[in-house]
Amino acid sequence: MQHRAMALKRKGQVVGVVPTMGFLHEGHLSLMRIARQRCDVLVISIFVNPAQFGANEDLEAYPRDFERDERLCRQAGVDLVFYPDPASMYAADASVWVDEESLSGVLCGASRPGHFRGVCTVVAKLFNIVQPDLAVFGEKDAQQLRIIERMVRDLNFPVTIVRGPIVRETDGLAMSSRNRYLSVSQRKDALCLQNALAQARVLVQEGERDVSVISEVMRSGIEAVPDAQIDYIEFVDDDTLAPMERIEGRVVAALAVRIGATRLIDNALLEV
């Protein structure tokens, strides 16, 4: 992959990459379409990265279907699929890691220690291997997106990070490969995430600025769903991810909720 990428760059071609963990859905395909418009050669990586999973998380159970993914990539006009195995990405005695120390301690980073070290390391390796001019990441993983942008800035990667909007199911549930874990009843319960964010938007539109008030309304709605367990409901600055007590400027309302055993995340930008 690296040899091919360097040959493409010598020819002056613009290389774009969309990093994924596979089991592709319309959210991934939307990122591919964004990248396709901006590059000559579109690379999709498919790699379930063991370094970003905790000890009790779903590494082994994470859905995989490479044949289906490859078919979708062909339909989307992807030029190259980079599909490495863990042994080729991580040496047995690997001892160098990329660790972000400011943005990664809140939200998902607070409940998933080491997660973003794994994310940053694998993305840095991916950038070195694929040599992209641009990379497209989805807004659904808002914290991850901002951490990658900070890593690119601080480590001087010559890569433009492009943001792709959240893609939702027709009922509003944010698309995720983990949605397949949900039973029929849990699938309905999962709508509490989007409903809570919708409540937050309405309150802000009506003039409410106190984060504690908005958060309590969101919490009450989610806790009314018997199978839902809140990991966090947070309001953070769009750039720094610093906690906000009032809705001022651009604020991200972010939440993580377990529906049964499945952990789902979602977010919305609140701007005044």
Q: Map residue 2 onto helix, strand or coil.
A: helix
Tens-digit pLDDT profile for residues 85-133? 999 999 999 999 999 999 999 999 999 999 999 999 999 999 999 999 9
Which amino acid does the sequence have at 165?
A: P
Q: Which of 3, 25, 28, 115 is catalytic?
A: 28
Quote the mean pLDDT of the chain.
97
Residues 6+ apart with CB under 8 A from 236: 106, 107, 242, 243, 244, 251, 252, 254
In the chain, the domains with their CATH numbers are 2-164 (3.40.50.620), 177-267 (3.30.1300.10)
Q: How many residues does the chain have?
A: 272
Q: Percent of the chain beyond pLDDT 70? A: 100
Confidence band for 225, pLDDT divided at 50, 70 and 90: very high
- Angle (nearest 5°) at CA 133 between 73 and 28: 30
Spatial contact of 178 and 61, defined as CB atoms under 8 Å apart: no
Diameter over CA atoms, the chain: 58
Tens-digit pLDDT profile for residues 120-154? 999 999 999 999 999 999 999 999 999 999 999 99
- In this predicted structure, the answer to whether residue 74 has a pLDDT above a threshold of 90 is yes
Q: Percent of the chain beyond pLDDT 90? A: 99
What is the spatial distance between Cα 23 and Cα 33, in angstroms, rounded to a whole number?
Answer: 17
What is the spatial distance between Cα 100 and Cα 86, in angstroms, rounded to a whole number?
Answer: 22
What is the spatial distance between Cα 258 and Cα 29, in angstroms, rounded to a whole number?
Answer: 26
The helix (H) or strand (E) run that includes residue 256 is strand 250-259
Q: What's the pTM value of the predicted model, to 2 decimals?
A: 0.95
- Angle (nearest 5°) at CA 201 between 200 and 207: 90
Q: Which of 16, 251, 50, 21 is nearest to 135 (CA)?
A: 16
Q: What is the pLDDT of residue 56?
A: 86
Tens-digit pLDDT profile for residues 232-245? 999 999 999 999 99
Q: H-type helices in the chain, by residue range?
A: 2-10, 26-36, 66-75, 86-89, 108-111, 115-130, 142-154, 184-189, 191-205, 211-223
Residue 115 is a catalytic residue: no
